[in-house]
């Protein structure tokens, strides 16, 4: 008996050396990523990394190219900076975890917590005493030190007056439909406004979005309800064609103001330009692969990836 | 010795009641005001809808030279939705239908129908919960964020939708000379969970539907109105578990204007009930029958300025 693999999805990206999530249309059984920039150029670097179903979180099988283009079989052990499969086809939120003791008021924010989520998880932060600006918001977890802390990589907390002295959370699967609403962490005042979101937003160049900022406590009320076209993206930023240069500054309110009742700014999908089809509303419970720093390539490297699944069994 | 039922019990001690008990069926409120679209066969799996954007007004007189004014450019937004397929089924042995006293297949068909329609409604609900613009209730006094719903919060949503030129769904129900009734304003439709009953009734200006002057076209799922919102409730209303500032459940109340969202179905497959008798497929001894449904559809907000998710906690 054999179980042939079918190609599920493939793509490329320019690495910024930071860990990232590759969203996939279904769960996968085999994932491979190659470094187009360094392949055959005799660097001392990982040029190919693979993941098979059954690998532990953070694990990878790698090929490292040394001097003279010699390839060496290497590996990243479980818990390392390799791959972690993300499967959120079940959209029920996780149980309340009430063991966190603090969140730094820094960018990114670091949560002191002995109970760790997994890198790539989306967590809703709750009961964030003294930092109630973020209570109820979801964040992508971008790094974990097991038993010690985890990082909210897209949290723009440097402007907050105080660190949180408590930090409960729930793990939140993404909503059933894509593209989805995303909470805003920051908006630049610029000729092309850049919106930072608290989670990986999934929007693509050509998406048309509406920026909702109905609460004057966050500043920049002029942008409320404006629609724009996405001209560039990173995992958590959206560059738009909205000219916000003359707008008042955006800033999160104090913890006390947030506690008194606010509506957090958010971005919602509006439509798309006629040349793309990738932003069609679709029921896509999130599956994906988290690529940690050991497999994501160096800054500016072009990375090609492919995901395979068992389409059928014979 | 007296002959009692202890001595002489009836040989058959039970009778099956042919009148089956009712099964829980949630009210389907979310698909109620969705615009129906159909995707033609052999047209791919994405329906593209298009809306032209408004042109500017031209209030400047041309003057005696009668020169042409600056030209305007047409712009349009494309709104795409990809059809997904859904299905479920049951397998029933021939023995089950032979020995059960009630018509099992009839009940199966009813339950499958319920499953299909509730699936449709759930998909619309989840799409609205994940993609609609939100507004938190902030005028309550429960100390949470969002707070419990108040009249001021309803008015804020209505003002936003009016500011976005969203059209009311229902027109005025005029007052009549009937004791205890009052006129109902033209309204947006608000869809939410039945847990909100007490909260809605506590809002200033609440009118129970029993107090509507005219009961024509009043849905069983409607509870009443507050300001310019008529509230429709379901036990399957949308809840964001543990989402508030204090970790309480958030109730999502979807305020919809006309043409704010759509439900797109694939022509030729929607609401298809499928029955295969014993002997169909790999069943050489005719021991099993199957019944199921399949459908292909996708819900989509067609104008995000015309639908708002008003979020509230319980007071």
pLDDT score for A312: 44
- Cα-based angle B315, A170, A251 (whole degrees, multiple of 5): 75
Q: Report yes or no: A51 and A83 within 8 Å, Cβ to Cβ.
A: yes
Give B223-251 as a 3 state SS string: EEEECCEEEEEECCCCEECCCCCCCCCEE
- Cβ–Cβ contact A175 with B under 8 A: yes
Give tens-digit pLDDT for A171-217: 988 778 888 999 999 999 999 999 999 999 989 999 999 999 999 99
Q: What is the mean pLDDT of residues B62-82?
A: 93
**What is the DSSP code (8-state) at residue B232?**
E
Fold agreement between A97-171 and A177-283: yes
pLDDT score for A3: 56
In this complex, the residue of A168, A208, A281 whose CB is nearest that of residue B300 is A281
The distance of A233 to chain B (nearest Cα, Å) reads 19
* Nearest partner of B150 among B99, B206, B223, judged by Cα: B206
Burial of B14 (0-12, 13-18, 19+ CB in 10 A): exposed
User: Which residue does chain B place closest to A258, by CA atoms?
Assistant: B145
Share of chain A above pLDDT 70, in %: 94
In this complex, the residue of B84, B131, B136 whose CB is nearest that of residue A269 is B131
Q: Report yes or no: A285 and A173 within 8 Å, Cβ to Cβ.
A: yes
Contact A261 B305 (CB under 8 A): no
pTM, full prediction: 0.82
Chain B interface test: which of A255, A263, A267 (most B C-beta within 10 Å) = A263
User: Which residue does chain A place closest to B44, by CA atoms?
Assistant: A277
* Cα(A29)–Cα(A8) distance, integer angstroms: 10
Q: How many CB pairs under 8 A join A and B?
A: 131
Q: Report yes or no: A182 and A267 within 8 Å, Cβ to Cβ.
A: yes
Name the band, by pLDDT with cuts 50, 70 and 90, for residue A282: confident
Listed in sequence order, the DSSP H helices in chain A are: 255-259
Domain coordinates in residue numbering, chain A: 6-87+286-309, 97-171, 177-283
| Superfamily of A177-283 according to CATH | Ubiquitin-activating enzyme E1, FCCH domain (2.40.30.180)
End-to-end Cα distance, chain A: 6
For A234-311, list the strands marked E by DSSP. 237-240, 266-272, 282-283, 287-291, 302-309
In this complex, the residue of A168, A263, A274 whose CB is nearest that of residue B247 is A168
Q: What is the mean pLDDT of residues B154-172?
A: 97
- Cβ–Cβ contact A176 with B under 8 A: yes
- Cβ–Cβ contact A25 with B under 8 A: no
* Nearest partner of A109 among A139, A132, A136, A81, judged by Cα: A139
> Of the spans A89-103, A268-282, B60-74, B147-161, which averages the highest pLDDT?
B147-161
DSSP SS3 for B194: helix
- Cβ–Cβ contact A168 with B under 8 A: yes
* Nearest partner of B25 among B191, B235, B230, B167, judged by Cα: B235
User: Which residue does chain A place closest to B305, by CA atoms?
Assistant: A225
Contact A225 B164 (CB under 8 A): yes
Chain B interface test: which of A281, A282, A284, A286 (most B C-beta within 10 Å) = A281
* Cα(A273)–Cα(A266) distance, integer angstroms: 21
- Cβ–Cβ contact A177 with B under 8 A: yes
Give yes or no for residue A5 having a pLDDT over 90: no
Q: Are strands B76-82 and A45-52 parallel, antiparallel or unpaired?
A: unpaired
- Cβ–Cβ contact A279 with B under 8 A: yes
Residues 6+ apart with CB under 8 A from B189: B32, B33, B169, B170, B229, B230, B232, B255, B256
Chain B interface test: which of A91, A136, A203 (most B C-beta within 10 Å) = A136
- Cβ–Cβ contact A259 with B under 8 A: yes
Query: Which H/E stretch holds residue A84?
Result: strand A83-87
Give tens-digit pLDDT for B212-250: 999 988 999 999 999 999 999 999 999 999 999 988 999
In this complex, the residue of A91, A264, A280 whose CB is nearest that of residue B82 is A280
In this complex, the residue of A136, A177, A270 whose CB is nearest that of residue B126 is A177
Chain B interface test: which of A138, A172, A283, A286 (most B C-beta within 10 Å) = A283
Burial of B260 (0-12, 13-18, 19+ CB in 10 A): buried
**What is the DSSP code (8-state) at residue A247?**
S
Give yes or no for residue A58 having a pLDDT over 70: yes
Q: How many CB atoms lie within 10 A of CB A69?
A: 12
Those of residues 129-148 in B touching chain A at CB distance below 8 A are: 129-140, 145-147
* CA B184 to chain CA centroid, nearest Å: 22
The distance of B299 to chain A (nearest Cα, Å) reads 8
Name the band, by pLDDT with cuts 50, 70 and 90, for residue A284: confident
Question: What residues in A contact B299, CB-CB < 8 Å?
Answer: 177, 281
Question: What residues in B contact A132, CB-CB < 8 Å?
Answer: 145, 245
* CA B284 to chain CA centroid, nearest Å: 43
Give yes or no for residue B200 having a pLDDT over 50: yes
- Cβ–Cβ contact B244 with A under 8 A: yes
Chain B interface test: which of A210, A269, A280 (most B C-beta within 10 Å) = A280
- Dig out the tokens for B101 from the structure: 């006293």
Listed in sequence order, the DSSP H helices in chain B are: 94-99, 104-131, 151-163, 197-201
Q: Which residue has the tokens 């229902």?
A: B170
* Cα(B114)–Cα(B24) distance, integer angstroms: 10
Name the band, by pLDDT with cuts 50, 70 and 90, for residue A1: very low
User: Which residue does chain B place closest to A92, by CA atoms?
Assistant: B241
Q: Report yes or no: B25 and B114 within 8 Å, Cβ to Cβ.
A: yes
The distance of A99 to chain B (nearest Cα, Å) reads 14
Contact A280 B84 (CB under 8 A): no
Q: Are strands B261-266 and B250-256 parallel, antiparallel or unpaired?
A: unpaired
Give yes or no for residue B273 having a pLDDT over 70: yes
* Cα(A264)–Cα(A254) distance, integer angstroms: 13
The distance of B27 to chain A (nearest Cα, Å) reads 21
User: Which residue does chain B place closest to A228, by CA atoms?
Assistant: B77
* Nearest partner of B308 among B255, B270, B240, judged by Cα: B255
The distance of A271 to chain B (nearest Cα, Å) reads 5
Name the band, by pLDDT with cuts 50, 70 and 90, for residue A54: very high
Contact A136 B81 (CB under 8 A): no
Q: How many CB atoms lie within 10 A of CB A159?
A: 13
- Cβ–Cβ contact A179 with B under 8 A: yes
pLDDT score for B294: 94
In this complex, the residue of A176, A180, A268 whose CB is nearest that of residue B133 is A268
Question: What residues in A contact B146, CB-CB < 8 Å?
Answer: 261, 263
ipTM (interface predicted TM): 0.89
Q: What is the mean pLDDT of residues A247-257?
A: 95
CATH of A97-171, one of 3.30.70, 2.40.30, 2.60.40, 2.60.120: 2.40.30
């Amino acid at each position: 008996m054999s179980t042939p693999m079918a190609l599920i999805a493939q793509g490329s990206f320019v690495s910024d050396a930071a860990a990232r999530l590759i969203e996939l249309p279904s769960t996968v059984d085999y994932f491979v990523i190659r470094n187009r920039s360094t392949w055959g150029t005799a660097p001392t670097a990982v040029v190919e990394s693979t993941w098979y179903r059954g690998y532990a979180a953070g694990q990878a099988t790698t090929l490292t190219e040394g001097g003279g283009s010699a390839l060496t079989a290497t590996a990243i052990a479980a818990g390392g900076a390799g791959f972690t499969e993300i499967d959120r086809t079940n959209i029920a939120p996780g149980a309340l975890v009430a063991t966190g003791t603090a969140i730094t008021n820094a960018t990114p924010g670091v949560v002191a917590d002995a109970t760790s989520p997994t890198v790539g998880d989306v967590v809703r932060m709750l009961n964030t005493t003294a930092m109630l600006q973020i209570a109820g918001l979801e964040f992508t977890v971008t790094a974990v030190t097991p038993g010690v802390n985890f990082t909210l990589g897209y949290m723009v907390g440097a402007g907050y007056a105080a660190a949180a002295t408590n930090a409960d959370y729930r793990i939140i699967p993404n909503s059933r439909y894509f593209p989805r609403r995303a909470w805003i962490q920051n908006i630049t005042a610029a000729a092309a406004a850049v919106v930072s979101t608290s989670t990986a937003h999934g929007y693509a160049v050509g998406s048309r979005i509406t920026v909702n900022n109905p609460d004057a406590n966050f500043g920049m009320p002029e942008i409320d309800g404006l629609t724009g076209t996405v001209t560039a993206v990173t995992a958590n930023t959206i560059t738009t064609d909205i000219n916000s240069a003359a707008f008042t500054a955006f800033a999160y309110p104090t913890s006390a103001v947030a506690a008194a009742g606010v509506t957090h700014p958010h971005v919602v999908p509006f439509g798309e330009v006629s040349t793309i089809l990738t932003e069609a509303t679709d029921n896509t419970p999130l599956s994906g692969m988290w690529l940690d720093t050991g497999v994501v390539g160096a800054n500016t490297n072009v990375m090609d990836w492919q995901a395979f699944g068992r389409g059928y069994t014979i | 010795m007296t002959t009692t039922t202890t001595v002489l019990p009836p040989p058959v001690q039970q009778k099956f009641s042919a009148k089956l008990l009712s099964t829980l069926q949630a009210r389907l409120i979310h698909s109620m005001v969705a615009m129906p679209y159909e995707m033609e066969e052999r047209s791919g799996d994405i329906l593209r809808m298009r809306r032209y954007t408004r042109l500017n007004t031209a209030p400047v007189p041309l003057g005696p030279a009668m020169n042409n004014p600056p030209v305007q450019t047409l712009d349009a937004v494309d709104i795409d939705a990809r059809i997904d397929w859904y299905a479920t089924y049951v397998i029933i042995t021939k023995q089950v239908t032979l020995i059960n006293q009630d018509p099992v297949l009839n009940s199966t068909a009813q339950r499958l129908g319920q499953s299909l329609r509730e699936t449709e409604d759930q998909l619309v609900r989840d799409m609205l919960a994940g993609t609609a613009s939100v507004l938190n209730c902030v005028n309550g006094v429960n100390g949470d964020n969002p707070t419990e719903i108040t009249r001021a919060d309803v008015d804020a949503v209505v003002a936003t939708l009016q500011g976005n030129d969203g059209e009311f769904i229902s027109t005025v129900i005029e007052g009549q000379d009937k004791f205890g009734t009052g006129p109902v304003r033209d309204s947006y439709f608000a869809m939410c969970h039945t847990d909100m009953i007490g909260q809605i009734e506590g809002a200033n200006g609440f009118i129970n539907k029993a107090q509507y002057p005219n009961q024509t076209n009043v849905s069983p799922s409607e509870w009443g109105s507050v300001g310019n919102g008529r509230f429709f409730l379901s036990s399957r209303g949308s809840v964001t578990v543990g989402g508030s500032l204090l970790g309480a459940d958030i109730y999502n109340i979807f305020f919809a204007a006309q043409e704010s969202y759509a439900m797109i179905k694939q022509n030729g497959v929607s609401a298809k009930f499928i029955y295969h008798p014993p002997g169909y497929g790999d069943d050489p001894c005719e021991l099993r029958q199957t019944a199921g449904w399949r459908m292909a559809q996708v819900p989509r907000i067609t104008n995000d300025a015309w639908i708002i998710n008003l979020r509230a906690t319980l007071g």
